Amino acid sequence: MGLARGLWLFSLVTGSISFAQLCYIIPLIIWAKKRGKWEFIKGVFVASLTTILLVANCFVSVVFC
């Protein structure tokens, strides 16, 4: 969980994740933690990391090129 959380925070700082994504990811994680659905939380992290990696290429090409 630590590595996923660290990568998620890194992507947040670099701007690879949008505000709209945060608006639905954070409530999902809070909801799942209250119900103890740890597999669901892992799935949310995997999905958000996949989105971040897909968007990061576009972000890097727009900013640095």
Are the C-beta atoms of 8 and 48 separated by less than 8 Å? yes
Q: What is the pTM of this model?
A: 0.50
- Does the structure show a pLDDT above 60 at 40? yes
Structure tokens given for 9? 């925070």
**Extents of the domains making up the chain:** 2-64
Using 50, 70 and 90 to split pLDDT, how confident is the model at 19?
low
Cα-to-chain-centroid distance, residue 52:
6
Mean pLDDT of the chain: 71
Using 50, 70 and 90 to split pLDDT, how confident is the model at 62?
low
